[in-house]
Amino acid sequence: MVNLIKHLRKEFEAPKAPFVLSTIAFGGRDLKGHGMTVANAQLSVRGDQGKYPEFVGNVKTVDARDFWRDKSVSPNGQGYHYNHNAETYMEVGNALGWAMADLLNIQLDRPSRSSAGDHLFEFGQRFCNAGFSWP
């Protein structure tokens, strides 16, 4: 991931382009072994870890393990692709969106679930008006 971010920044001449990424989350907080090794590597990319000083303030990693939903509440129970659980996909996407808003210094109140649609529309408008653009 580090190489991908660095390559894209170089390719598009955008040395501070913001990036957000999510960890794998198979099994939620029960993730262990090789899966936990991968999740820890993904977490190490975030700028606030200090491992990559050039990522401070412009790269965030969302820990998605808390968004895992068990197969008992999912349409599928294969243990990968988040058991095809739409709630997991929504929660991960929402967390990534908030992480990007934070990187872009877009200030919004976090919505209640009942007003999420209105807030997503407002977020989209403010994101487009934030002045961020690729060269």
Three-class SS state of 42: helix
Torsions phi, psi for 61 (to 5 deg): -115, 130
CA 6 to chain centre: 18
Contact 44, 51 (CB under 8 A): yes
pTM assigned to the model = 0.76
What is the total residue count of the chain?
Answer: 135
Q: What is the pLDDT of residues 10-20, one digit of tens each?
A: 999 999 899 99
The DSSP symbol for 19 reads: E
Q: What is the pLDDT of residues 100-110, one digit of tens each?
A: 999 988 766 66
CA 17, 1, 106, 54 dihedral sign is negative
